[in-house]
Amino acid sequence: MRDSKVIAPDLLAWYDRHARTLPWRVPPGGPPADPYRVWLSEVMLQQTTVAAVKAYFLRFTALWPTVQDLAAAEDARVMAEWAGLGYYARARNLLACARAVAARGGFPDTREGLAALPGIGPYTSAAIASIAFGRTETVVDGNVERVVARLFAVDTPLPRARPQLTALAGQLTPTERPGDYAQAMMDLGATICTPRSPACVICPVQTECEARRQGIAAELPRKLAKAPKPEREGVAWVARQGQALLLEHRPAKGLLGGTLAFPSARWDGRDLPPPGPAQWREIGQVRHVFTHFSLTLRVMSGQLTGNPERGELVPLRQIDREALPGLMRKVWDMAQGEIAA
């Protein structure tokens, strides 16, 4: 049976030579990791790629170098800096967690204590406890699931296989250097044990891989076929008045919660009228894919002829496209001809 005595030494030796250089990571043999940077990176990396996160992480840590700095930040500023990273509930939980940590004087150093904080689930609590505090915890993300499924040739498809994969991963987790081991497993999945065409010939644990022995590594992990995403429709209004556009902050909870946006309706459960009097005309449609549905949003443009009924008029020179969520950036881009006219 494969165990940490077989896997961990070879994997850690490989990690010592080939660890990825990431802005939130302490290299092998370095000082203890800062729990703030580990936590911030793990929250940002949820359902988001490393490439997409790097710039956001560097900007956040430049603006707010400590958890106390982030806790003291204005909500609107944090939401604006998060814009484009998606899954906006993470940003709201980020602030709530930072304020809870600042109030208690620092991060708890156990998985149980970390899991009690806002927005920290089983994976994130295990990652912080392992990487920042050296706790022997089993850290299982998508990369680790793939590595373990291949090591043990687990044929059960995801997501049904997750409890089994977590249990098997726990058998491999060593008591020595658990944080480095967790990151080594992630790196192995990201760089060698990749979803397609795994580079088995250079894998440091190839001799222990049952899927390689059976010649089925590239077929694992199996996944259940995904159901087609539901389709939704909605409308967004680009309302102009002189050199200003009408924008609003979306409700704190729900889709794109708390972000600055063009007034919109129908796609998010809100059946609202136009935001003010105007001769509205459709200028096109934008498509956007969310986790659970696909959206077609009709974009209406008009010159306000009276006071708006919601939102606020913001001078064009003060509007930062990058502070808008991805869906609203598409609306902005479509409306450029109207805005410039």
pLDDT tens by residue, 50-78: 999 999 999 999 999 999 999 999 998 99
Tokens 């204590």 correspond to 113
pLDDT above 60 (res 26): yes
Does the structure show a pLDDT above 70 at 173? yes
Residue (of 178, 190, 177, 197) closest to 144 by Cα position: 190
Query: 26-35, 98-107, 292-301: which has the minimum mean pLDDT?
Result: 26-35
Q: Environment class of residue 112 by beta-carbon count within 10 Å: exposed (0-12), middle (13-18) or buried (19+)? A: exposed
pLDDT of residue 340: 67
Query: In the 8-state DSSP scheme, what is residue 26?
Result: P
Question: Given this model, what pLDDT does residue 17 score?
Answer: 97
Please, which pLDDT band fits residue 84 given cuts at 50, 70 and 90?
Answer: confident
pLDDT tens-digit series, residues 272-317: 999 999 999 999 999 999 989 999 999 999 999 999 999 999 999 9
| Average of per-residue pLDDT across 71-87 | 91
Nearest by Cα to 250 from 311, 176, 179: 311
pLDDT for res 182 = 96
pLDDT band at 81 (very low <50, low <70, confident <90, very high): very high
Which pLDDT score is estimated for 258? 86
DSSP state for residue 34 in the 8-state scheme: P
CA distance 337 to 252: 31
- Residue 131 — pLDDT band, cuts 50, 70, 90? very high
CA distance 45 to 101: 20
Domains of the chain: 4-219 (1.10.340.30), 231-340 (3.90.79.10)
* Active site annotation includes 219: no
Q: CB of 250 within 8 A of CB of 281?
A: no
Is residue 130 packed enough to be buried (19+ CB in 10 Å), middle (13-18) or exposed (0-12)?
buried
pLDDT at 254: 86
The predicted model scores a pTM of: 0.84
Q: How far apart are the first and last CA of the chain?
A: 70
Contacts of 306 (CB under 8 A, 6+ apart): 276, 277
Query: Rounded mean pLDDT of 205-221?
Result: 96
Check whether 5 has a pLDDT greater than 70. Answer: no
Angle at 34 between CA 166 and CA 77, to 5 degrees: 100
Q: What is the pLDDT of residue 337?
A: 81
Predicted local confidence at residue 252, as pLDDT: 83
Instruction: Please write down the HEC assignment for all residues of 111-139.
Output: HHHHHCCCCCCHHHHHHHHHHHHCCCCCC
Q: Report percent pLDDT > 70 for the chain.
A: 98
Distance CA 255, CA 268 (A): 7
Of residues 42, 81, 137, 145, which has the active-site annotation? 42
In tens, the pLDDT along 198-210 reads 999 999 999 999 9
Kindly report the average pLDDT of the chain as a whole number. Answer: 94
Q: Which pLDDT score is estimated for 1?
A: 43
